[in-house]
Structure 1
Amino acid sequence: MKQHMPFSYGKIFAIGSGFFALMLIWTFYNAYMPLILGDYIESRAIRGAIMGLDNLLAVLLIPIIGAWSDKVDTKLGNRLPFLVVGMPIAALFFILIPYGAAVTLWVLLVVDIIFLLAMTIYRAPVIALMPDHTPPDKRSTANGIINFMGGIGALVALFGLSTLYGIDRSYPFIIAGLLLFLAFMLLYFVVDRRPPYVDSSKEDLEEVKATQSFFHGLGKLKKPEFRGHLFILIAIFIYFIGYAGLEAQFTVYAVEYLNMEESTAGFTLGFFSLAFVIFAIPAGLLGSKLGKAPTMLIGLVLLPIIFVSIPFLPSISTVAPSINQVLLLQIVLFIGGIAWSFINVQAYPLVSDLGGKNKIGYFTGLYYLFSMASSIVAPGMLGLLMDIFSHPSLFYGASVTFLIAFYFLRKGSLIVRQQHNNNSFSA
């Protein structure tokens, strides 16, 4: 009887508010935390290593907490207890980040670590709310809504909060923290304590499967029949190093090398995200027409060309760049966001298709494992290149990762296609 409850778009949008706040916080944090750390730490590599901490916590703890939230049973249900603990604490300590930064580095780091732990506590449970409240046949639609709201959150962070940052450093942290708390209040009063589809959602929660893939199935990739699959996953790991590193270090490049205002740097990065949101659906349609791997390969060729051109754009690194110079950089980043949509929109569907219907969960877990693991090392790795070879090496290093990924993706997709053809012939 419970399984036949009507599907509520209102609840999905309410749940989407949690993902909106999540992406709002993470996007702003990734753009501006390296600049705040720069008040105390000159090395881009060390700042990048600190930025990788959230991804390390994600890989280690999110699958455990997600699995825990599957099993726990309280008066508030199984997901809400994690939201009750994580979201208010994360909101409070996010607000405290600029105030901690005004005291000492150690106070800032303590505030930052508590904030990261709180975010990790609620991340998997809040994502799990969508399948808990959605029948399996509606989950693609609901996931589109959730990801759309997450994309809006990222745009609000880079365009709206960046503007506030230029007025007062504390303002965007206060606003974002309050929005996170409001999202918590909405979720607390809207979501079901005993959602109707919780049993079927346990098998579909994507990020939680990363641990299961690591401990129970990673060894399978060593087998010859999985060689092509492994190459594709390696490609994803490598190009995410370029993407995540650029996301974390771009504002450092813009502020320290181009002498941009900090608020303008984040606003400029927003054009990359804006293009991705606008072209996500067209990129998906292109992937349906040309194929997922060929579309990704096009993006992996275009993006390095775009990135390598950025250090050669007309700019003046001794004084603040002019409006026209900033506009040109924004246009180039917008074009880069289009190329990124060719890559990222296809990646998860490509990986989830590798094992057929019976192994979607297994390869979903591997996708999240490889993509999140790369984000641990990416900010520090590209930051080290900036320390050794100067700031423009950020774009050169990112470009190299995309070209290496091109090689592995092309080789892996050819092997998988050949295996599929052989199996079809045998059948």
Structure 2
Amino acid sequence: MANREPRALHFPYLKTTLLSFGNFSINIALSVYAIYVPLFVRRNFLAYYPNSALVNSIVGIVMVLDNVIALFVQPAIGSLSDRIWLKNLGRRMPFIIVGIPLAAFFFGLIGTFEETLIWLLISITFFNISVAIYKSPVLSLIPDLLPPSYRSEGSGVLSVVGGLASILGLFLSAYLYNISHPLAFWAIGAIMMICLLILLFSVREDPNKYVVSKESPEGWANILSNLRHEKNSALIFALVAVFLNQCGYQVAESFLSTYTTTVLKFSETNANYVLGTLGLFGIISAIPAGLLGRKLGARDAALIGLILFGLTIIPMAYFSLVSPDVVAKVFQLNQFHIEAQFFLILIWVLVLGFSLTVISINLLVVVWDMASEKKIATFTGYYYLFAHSAAILSPMMAGVIFDIIESLFNIEGLQGLFCYVGIMYVGAIFALLRVRKIQIERELGLTEEELTILRRRAKKRATLLLPLILFGFGARENPIKEKRKEQRQDLKIFEKGFREFLKDGDLSKKEYREAIKALKKEHQKELKSLKRELAHEEVVEEIAKTELRRDFRLFKEKFQEFMKDGDLSKAELNRAIHMLKQEQKRELQELKEKLISRRQDRLRKDLTE
């Protein structure tokens, strides 16, 4: 009888949560930063230049400062922290010990100097430099101190802790801001210092444990150079989707607080509650979003998230331009006294939060799934290059667009916020659909000529649209559904049998998980094989139909000539055409039966092997 899996192999949730407090300190500050800094900058700038038409552009420039600093400071700090080791402190903690107190101090100064433009900008700049000093080291604690097999779960814990920090920051600052503006910022700074104390008492770095590489990370120039040599069109479209998604998200984050105060006429603290509510829905939906990604795959889950977000943002874009009061009612759920309307809007906001969570969890995994084991870090670099580029360019570009709208149409430029965000997300949908199409084509293993036939067949038959989106090229749904049903039944039987072994102690949990994983991998291989077979059948059928249509046209032309010469009556022509159609139907049916029989024989052979 095998020994049971030792307790030490279980995922260390407590340890991972403690390691995540560095990320907690970043998120709690940045969530408050994203709300109040745009408002402070706008208010100060308008105090100096009351009639300026560039106010949104200036806000956009200030809000990309953190990403510009991160672009230059974080790679250098990350490289340095990989190479040094200080006795009793380690690789990462020296930077964390310096960065968190500085960030907390300058964050407090942002609230203190909210009415003094020059000191406000200085505080903002040094706060972002301080965060950049410790952000890369603090995020490296999870991969450094957890075994490789636990890193995905560790990343999930990191995200949940970061999300909770954002919600706490938004609600706490909203409460304290009503008492004293500077107090809200110094209180957040104090919490950041508590996070540092937790890390000091919980982090024990080992120079030899779980550190994968001591090499310096590649700089942005090298990452861009490597990308030029990637011959993978699906990767390029995936990165375009990442860029457009971040373009929309970063603009929403940068301008939403200003939008709620200037367009919706909310108080400054109400803007916190809006983002806090969305963040809360995001945390609630994190587990379902992860399950969706595991069930459908990261690509299809991210696509569903983008489509859901697009469907919810389009009405908001319309009402924001036509009637902003409707958008205000959406954000203030408690304003509705009619129960049906309240729950309709509640569902709307839930879908919005859920879709954002699905996108954020799965879009990076889409890029990772295209990489070999040796190139995970390189592909992560590609992702962040496009994400940072969007975070730098998009808020500035959006600010200019909003100022142009204000000048040309004599309305508040920020009323176009959701239009801008919606356009970016729709673009991301089309980019990810392109990724899906390219990957399905590759999975089918067909020649370019065969793919052309399938594309032509799909275009001719509008009814194939839904199967085309779900399965690719309108491949027959029923065999795939039947196969999936059969696989689900196999999995249930397999799990039931192995749970008995697990219960008796004849099998460890690790062995059980590996066996389930192997079976699912085999099921995926079977499905891919079936899809290739179905696609091949589609091609063969389309070629056969093309030949039959050509034969029918030639036959009809020939017999029409006979009828003109008087050698054949119209009734005889119609009878001959009817007989030919029946004969061709029989030929086509025989071909289908032959193809199905061949497919079943091949699948039986694969199963036997």
TM-score (norm 1): 0.88
Counterpart CA distance in 1 for 2:266 and 2:128 is: 28
Describe how 1:270-419 pairs up with structure 2 within 5 A.
270-310=276-316, 312=319, 316=325, 324=335, 332-389=348-405, 390-419=413-442
Q: Give the residue type in structure 1 aligned to 2:105.
A: L
- Secondary structure of the residue aligned to 1:361 is helix
**1:295–1:143 distance in 2 versus 1, CA, 3 Å:** closer
**1:91–1:407 distance in 2 versus 1, CA, 3 Å:** same
**1:267–1:131 distance in 2 versus 1, CA, 3 Å:** same
Instruction: Quote how far apart the aligned CAs of 1:5 are.
Output: 11
- Secondary structure of the residue aligned to 2:264 is coil
Structure 1 position 256 matched with structure 2 position 254: no
Describe how 1:5-404 pairs up with structure 2 within 5 A.
9-42=13-46, 43-75=55-87, 76-102=89-115, 104-194=116-206, 196-197=208-209, 199-200=211-212, 209=217, 211-212=218-219, 214-223=220-229, 225-310=231-316, 312=319, 316=325, 324=335, 332-389=348-405, 390-404=413-427
**1:369–1:94 distance in 2 versus 1, CA, 3 Å:** same
The answer on whether the counterparts of 1:269 and 1:330 sit within 8 Å (CA) in structure 2 is no
- Secondary structure of the residue aligned to 2:153 is helix
Counterpart CA distance in 2 for 1:144 and 1:316 is: 37
The answer on whether the counterparts of 2:108 and 2:189 sit within 8 Å (CA) in structure 1 is yes
**1:353–1:175 distance in 2 versus 1, CA, 3 Å:** same
Q: In the TM superposition, what whole-angstrom CA distance separates every residue of 1:353-383 from its partner, at most 9, and x where no partner exists? A: 1023232121112112211221112222222
- Secondary structure of the residue aligned to 2:91 is coil
Q: Which residue of 1 aligns with 2:498?
A: none
- Secondary structure of the residue aligned to 2:20 is helix
- Secondary structure of the residue aligned to 1:194 is coil
Counterpart CA distance in 1 for 2:230 and 2:200 is: 49
Instruction: Quote how far apart the aligned CAs of 1:145 are.
Output: 1.9
- Secondary structure of the residue aligned to 1:394 is helix
Counterpart CA distance in 2 for 1:38 and 1:275 is: 29
The answer on whether the counterparts of 2:368 and 2:379 sit within 8 Å (CA) in structure 1 is yes
Q: Give the residue type in structure 1 aligned to 2:58.
A: I
Instruction: Quote how far apart the aligned CAs of 1:316 are.
Output: 4.3
The answer on whether the counterparts of 2:147 and 2:210 sit within 8 Å (CA) in structure 1 is no
Instruction: Quote how far apart the aligned CAs of 1:388 are.
Output: 2.2
- Secondary structure of the residue aligned to 2:67 is helix
Instruction: Quote how far apart the aligned CAs of 1:297 are.
Output: 2.1
**1:164–1:83 distance in 2 versus 1, CA, 3 Å:** same
Give the % identical residues.
Answer: 31
The answer to which of 177-186 and 350-359 deviates more is 350-359
- Secondary structure of the residue aligned to 1:192 is coil
Counterpart CA distance in 2 for 1:405 and 1:183 is: 36
Counterpart CA distance in 2 for 1:193 and 1:285 is: 33
Counterpart CA distance in 2 for 1:357 and 1:270 is: 37
Counterpart CA distance in 1 for 2:16 and 2:262 is: 42
- If asked which structure has higher relative contact order (CA below 8 Å, sep 6+), I would say 1
The answer on whether the counterparts of 2:310 and 2:426 sit within 8 Å (CA) in structure 1 is yes
The answer on whether the counterparts of 1:274 and 1:334 sit within 8 Å (CA) in structure 2 is no
How many residues are aligned here? 415
Counterpart CA distance in 2 for 1:420 and 1:220 is: 25
Q: Give the residue type in structure 2 aligned to 1:237.
A: F
Structure 1 alignment gaps of length 5 or more: none
Instruction: Quote how far apart the aligned CAs of 1:151 are.
Output: 0.9
Q: In the TM superposition, what whole-angstrom CA distance separates every residue of 1:364-412 from its partner, at most 9, and x where no partner exists? A: 1211221122111222222223222222211000000011111111112
The answer on whether the counterparts of 2:148 and 2:210 sit within 8 Å (CA) in structure 1 is no
The answer on whether the counterparts of 1:253 and 1:392 sit within 8 Å (CA) in structure 2 is yes
Counterpart CA distance in 2 for 1:201 and 1:138 is: 17
Counterpart CA distance in 1 for 2:227 and 2:80 is: 27
Instruction: Quote how far apart the aligned CAs of 1:184 are.
Output: 1.1
The answer on whether the counterparts of 1:272 and 1:335 sit within 8 Å (CA) in structure 2 is no
Q: Which residue of 1 aligns with 2:52?
A: none
**1:333–1:50 distance in 2 versus 1, CA, 3 Å:** farther
- Secondary structure of the residue aligned to 1:259 is coil
Counterpart CA distance in 1 for 2:214 and 2:202 is: 21
The answer on whether the counterparts of 2:57 and 2:396 sit within 8 Å (CA) in structure 1 is yes
Counterpart CA distance in 2 for 1:135 and 1:287 is: 23
Q: Give the residue type in structure 1 aligned to 2:245.
A: Y
- Secondary structure of the residue aligned to 2:394 is helix
The answer on whether the counterparts of 1:271 and 1:330 sit within 8 Å (CA) in structure 2 is no
Counterpart CA distance in 1 for 2:123 and 2:431 is: 40
Larger Rg: 2
**1:325–1:162 distance in 2 versus 1, CA, 3 Å:** farther
Instruction: Quote how far apart the aligned CAs of 1:68 are.
Output: 0.7
The answer on whether the counterparts of 1:315 and 1:325 sit within 8 Å (CA) in structure 2 is no
TM-score (norm 2): 0.63
- Secondary structure of the residue aligned to 1:199 is coil
Q: Which residue of 1 aligns with 2:564?
A: none
- Secondary structure of the residue aligned to 2:414 is coil
